Structure 1
Amino acid sequence: MSDDGVNTELRLLLGVQRVLGVPGALTAARVLGAAGEHAAVWLAVGTLGALADAPRRAEWVRGTGVVLAAHAVSVLAKRLVRRARPVHADLRVHPGPGGRWGMPSSHAASTTAAAVVFGRLLGTRATLALPPVMGLSRLLVGAHFPSDVLVGSAVGALAAAARGTVTR
């Protein structure tokens, strides 16, 4: 990415932090980040769905596999792309367990995959509100550039589509 592209993304990131970075939002963003680490919350939701919905247990297990696959692809892509996380003197970075590389956002990938596959299983599109919330949380804590989040969401959507589970 060109320096102009990085500068534009950095300006967007700083703007999001300036406008939305109030204490309650930062706390919520940290909680979402912890819950989404290694797709933990979505793997737990899928497991609970499989346990609670015996007639569709196999569908829940497959859906949870899609979430895990989206997460795994994003982790592998980080190692191939090797794009560093944002760094700037004005950036409010709230450290977490994340590694050095940020592209694509694994939180965005697993959340998008979960929103699509679990939304279909639950018969609702309301779950599609989850990826933008998780994406904003990643910006609020300074973990990612906006394009990291967008690419992560695309990875999750593609994983769901590859499984044929896109919400109708």
Structure 2
Amino acid sequence: MSSASEVRILQTVQGTVGSRPAVVRAARGLSHFGEHALGWVAVAGVGAVLDKPRRRRWASVAGGAVGAHAASIIIKRVVRRPRPNDPSVQVNVSTPSRLSFPSSHATSTTAAAVLLGRLTGLPLPAVLVPPMLLSRLVLGVHYPSDVLAGSALGAVSAAAVLRAEQKFGVK
């Protein structure tokens, strides 16, 4: 997909759902929650405290989210794709870097959602991932391919954690 096509998608998202102040506020809230995977680490920490029999699996959620985030940062530094920079795209939140590919928020959220879903038995990837991906577009800080690649990387990261849990008998 060309950058021009992706900018058109951003324009469409921002012109429809992204034009509502409540949506932008919610997207900013998701952005702050997902920054450096800290919100997911906090959720996992609370789970570990409240659910002692499965403390190691809660630790895997935190480790998986942080590991996925770290992988995305490494890839960002290799790829070095700049964030969207088009006068028609409004940037609605600050970012820690100018690098866009892949979306670290999408990566850590997908990893956390898959791991939390496996732990709780709930369909959390279907509930948690789409809003985070959409929020990055509403905020104008990622191209659609950034969030899709980030989500794919998060799913691969979660699969690696699940394999490690199985190998080491984490219950």
Distance 2:41 2:151 in 1: 17
Length-normalised TM-score, structure 1: 0.92
| CA contact 1:116–1:128 (8 Å) conserved in 2 | no
**C-alpha separation in 2, matches of 1:116 and 1:75:** 20
Give 5+ residue unaligned stretches, structure 2: 164-171
Deviation at 1:128, TM superposition (A): 2.7
Query: Identity of paired residues, percent?
Result: 48
**1:118-153 alpha-carbon deviations (Å, 9 max, x no partner):** 111111114432111000000001010000000000
> In structure 1, what residue type is equivalent to 2:94?
G
Residues matched between the structures, number: 162
Alignment of 1:20-31 (within 5 A): 20-21=17-18, 22-31=20-29
| Secondary structure of 2:162's aligned partner | coil
Alignment of 1:129-148 (within 5 A): 129-148=127-146
SS of the residue 1:163 aligns to: helix
Pick which of 15-24 and 156-165 moved more: 156-165
Determine the structure 2 residue equivalent to 1:60. Answer: 58
Quote the Cα distance in structure 2 between the aligned partners of 1:101 and 1:42.
22
Alignment of 1:1-168 (within 5 A): 5-21=2-18, 22-164=20-162
Q: Distance in 1 between matches of 2:39 and 2:154?
A: 15
Q: Is the Cα contact below 8 Å between 2:81 and 2:100 reproduced in 1?
A: yes
Q: Which residues of structure 1 form unaligned runs of 5+?
A: none
Per-residue deviation, 1:63: 2.2
- Compute the RMSD of aligned alpha carbons: 1.2
